[in-house]
Structure 1
Amino acid sequence: MQIGRRPVALALTFPRSVLISGLAAPMTMMPDLPNPEADTSDNRESAGADDATQVGDSLSASFMPPDAMAARIEALLFVHGKPISARRIADLLEVPSVIPVKQCLALLARRYDDLGSAFSLQELAQGYQLTTRPEHDALLNKLVREREAQKLSPAVLECLAVIAYKQPISRLDIESIRGSSSDHLVRALLERGFIQVTERDKNRGNAALYGTTGEFLRAFGLKSLSELPRQQDLASLAAAQEGAGEAEVDEVQVQDPEKPQ
């Protein structure tokens, strides 16, 4: 067997050698050459050599411009909502290495910090996630509360309307007005923070009396309970729905606790 047209000597003849198929080639005859397989992304990652500082910007440019890749990564992070690994991002972008992905992630993180953006890039659960900064929590919680209010079922809204107009009111009185069990509805409103126990009725065995909270006002965009729709407004609504069927009119009447039962 020959390498580079020169005979391969036995390992005993040349102590500094590398074994090839049971034979040995002297180091002076076989210079070190870069091994393409040893430089793959998987091997470099396992050795911890995938740091962007070790490869330079040229590797990113070999796939696509860094700004273009960063924009695509940002879009993925924006819609995903959960931590996503650099390997998964690389697969979605159809690039063979995570190195340019991590370069662009670092680029995005710097941009968010330098621009004072509302977003920050967090490394969580072996992945990356786009998050909002803590100083915006109060504003975002307000939006979340409004969305939660819109998701309330008709039955829960009906129960909430009875409490809002007749507070403080006991659960038994709520059920008397609605004509059906309301225990699970009251629990749901307590969990949402829309109602609370405001006082106790000593004449009924210290029964809890419920009323609305400031959270209720914020969620429905009210400054005070005085901004609740008036009886005249509800009557007008009932008149407008008069042709829509008796069931709908009855529902409006239930939501108007001031109407004599």
Structure 2
Amino acid sequence: MTASHPLANACGRLHPTSDWLVSYDVRWRRPQSASWLGALHRGFIPWTGELSSATRPLDRTARTSTLRTARSARVEAILFISDGPVPSKKIAQLASLTDSREADQLIAWLNASYELSGSPWRIAQIAGGYRLYTLPAYHQWLAKLNTAMQSPQLTPSTLETLAIVAYRQPITRADIEQIRGVQCVDLLKQLMEDGYLRLAGEDTSLGRPFLYETTRKFLEDFGLADLEQLPFSRELRLSKSMKSTGDTGKAA
């Protein structure tokens, strides 16, 4: 299965060859290279360059005009000034559109016009909303502006912990430590301070330990529309489900 989303590599200094890095708190991307198979140990996920169905550009052979309409221009303006992903429903409300479906259609048209006109922009579907980004090919020039905030420098062990939570959530600290084989109290604390993890209630097991899950910030910074876009998410979640069923059977 191939990954179909971008990921912000939180430890770019350790891995200067990753495919895509989503900059933090700015709207531009920089190119790098890597492989998802080492995610639990190296902390990053490749992006094949494919956009979701809502944002995929139209056929190059189609006669698509790049002339803005008032409605598409309003959508573009909203995304240009937004400081985070904007849901299609919210875009429809702000731009006085018919509904969220029209917003999706206009965004698909805008992406098609960007491609046809050679624009440096693309609209990506991130964390349940849309956001305007520049293409990674322009990173070397945009980097000269020196406007990017420093990305959190997460260590491989921190990224490994984050990856475990992302796939196994909600999960207890004991289960994370069982998978990693070492304690992770400080790592979980750091990830919560960075805004990537939060408490998700208490487990029903003895002692009622806290459960951990990822946040919206995790989706935004790692370039995910939702958790289903994690590579191999269905396979790993199925594996978790089968393990839980097996444990229940043994207990019985």
Query: After TM superposition, is the score higher than 0.5?
Result: no
Q: Which has the higher contact order (CA 8 A, sep 6+)?
A: 2
The alignment's TM-score, normalised by the length of structure 2, stands at: 0.35
Higher helix share: 1
The normalised TM-score by structure 1 is 0.33
